[in-house]
Copies of this chain bind each other. A is one copy, B any other.
């Protein structure tokens, strides 16, 4: 069988935008990432054979960028200058080596962790998740008859057509964010090609998948992820609350210095969006293009950010929200209708776009858990989703003035 991951570009573009910052500023931070299966009642090890998983992961470790892939990245511009430095592209082409993985099968599930220099380890998350997903569905499909296998695919087509019918007439702006949780590469490819053929350029703005963007002449989309904030907090933490708080704005400054307005979409929820919005200076609100909403209640968040812009007397109609948390069709339509004309909206559509064939998708994540020996924390706008050791979570909640009650009650 063909390898599941065939190119190091088959990943989210933001791994490169972040990867470059890491390469230039924090290459040798020691980071540990851990895989977690958040799906209730699914025994992964019954569907995924250990040897198969090891083979696919080993194959990923043996991949190299080819000349065209490097030229493609080199051709990315920000304004009139290159997005990626010569040194960073040289690193990708000649030096990148994904660190070893630690895989242990244990009853119904397995643990999977990776530890290494951040500059190298950062590239594991997306191909690893996509691999586990695809192996799981391959395993699951074995129980299905030939006809049933075809039926699931047909189901996917019909559901995709339903999405297109519903969205075709709306001036909505969509981006594919579905690499990590896709049903399979082939299905993902089919979805991206279909959106590209059936929607206008204004409706389908591009894909976060750098490989498919290259293949279909689309714009590769992406800025940054929680790991930037989380790992920088771990690295800059000198034991004081102030150093952790300072790391937050340091991440923002560093990012803006690299990519300026073009990639200035702030992810606000790492330690709760209330903290982000309440401490956002007017300059920052002015300079940054917009924000990404990735947890909690999107309507509550949208109203909050508009209020924040108003407070700074900034025209919110020029700003943008990218919604990217567990989107489904009715939610997209609702958010679009509510915010259209008040603030620019864009929808980063993940699992439900690339893994909607009629059965429940898995919910798998890989998170950084440790940096230079310190435990890492993500709080998010959903108190139930906090990640980290209990005592670290407690400390971060205090540092960032995390008001659990407000998030719990914020449902519109």
- Give residues in A with beta carbon < 8 Å to B: 66-77, 80, 86, 213-219
Residue of B nearest to A76 (CB): B71
A215 contacts across to B, CB distance below 8 A: 68
Q: Give A90 Cβ to nearest chain B Cβ, in Å.
A: 11
Residue of B nearest to A73 (CB): B75
Given contacts A80-B86, A86-B80, contact A217 B74 (CB under 8 A): no
Q: List 29 A–B pairs whose Cβ atoms lie within 8 Å, in order of A's numbering.
A: A66-B216, A66-B217, A67-B213, A67-B217, A67-B218, A67-B219, A68-B72, A68-B213, A68-B214, A68-B215, A68-B216, A68-B217, A68-B218, A69-B217, A70-B75, A71-B71, A71-B72, A71-B75, A71-B76, A71-B214, A72-B72, A72-B75, A73-B75, A74-B74, A74-B75, A74-B77, A75-B75, A75-B76, A80-B86
Question: Dominant SS at the A interface?
Answer: helix
Q: Give A305 Cβ to nearest chain B Cβ, in Å.
A: 30
In whole angstroms, how far apart are the Cα atoms of A214 and B215 in the complex?
Answer: 10
Residue of B nearest to A213 (CB): B68
Q: Give A278 Cβ to nearest chain B Cβ, in Å.
A: 39
In whole angstroms, how far apart are the Cα atoms of A214 and B70 in the complex?
Answer: 10
Q: Give A261 Cβ to nearest chain B Cβ, in Å.
A: 19
Q: Give A5 Cβ to nearest chain B Cβ, in Å.
A: 16
In whole angstroms, how far apart are the Cα atoms of A73 and B71 in the complex?
Answer: 8
Assembly stoichiometry (copies): 2
A68 contacts across to B, CB distance below 8 A: 72, 213-218
In whole angstroms, how far apart are the Cα atoms of A100 and B175 in the complex?
Answer: 38
Q: Give A357 Cβ to nearest chain B Cβ, in Å.
A: 28
Residue of B nearest to A66 (CB): B217
A86 contacts across to B, CB distance below 8 A: 80
A72 contacts across to B, CB distance below 8 A: 68, 71-72, 75
Residue of B nearest to A196 (CB): B66
In whole angstroms, how far apart are the Cα atoms of A217 and B67 in the complex?
Answer: 5
A71 contacts across to B, CB distance below 8 A: 71-72, 75-76, 214
Q: Give A205 Cβ to nearest chain B Cβ, in Å.
A: 11
A80 contacts across to B, CB distance below 8 A: 86
* Residue of A71, A77, A218 most packed against chain B (CB within 10 A): A71
In whole angstroms, how far apart are the Cα atoms of A213 and B69 in the complex?
Answer: 11
Q: Give A12 Cβ to nearest chain B Cβ, in Å.
A: 17
Q: Give A318 Cβ to nearest chain B Cβ, in Å.
A: 25
A218 contacts across to B, CB distance below 8 A: 67-68
A217 contacts across to B, CB distance below 8 A: 66-69
A76 contacts across to B, CB distance below 8 A: 71, 75
Residue of B nearest to A65 (CB): B217
Q: Give A217 Cβ to nearest chain B Cβ, in Å.
A: 3
Residue of B nearest to A215 (CB): B68
A70 contacts across to B, CB distance below 8 A: 75
Residue of B nearest to A74 (CB): B75
In whole angstroms, how far apart are the Cα atoms of A86 and B213 in the complex?
Answer: 21
Residue of B nearest to A71 (CB): B75
Q: Give A31 Cβ to nearest chain B Cβ, in Å.
A: 29
In whole angstroms, how far apart are the Cα atoms of A75 and B76 in the complex?
Answer: 8
In whole angstroms, how far apart are the Cα atoms of A86 and B68 in the complex?
Answer: 19
In whole angstroms, how far apart are the Cα atoms of A219 and B67 in the complex?
Answer: 7
A67 contacts across to B, CB distance below 8 A: 213, 217-219
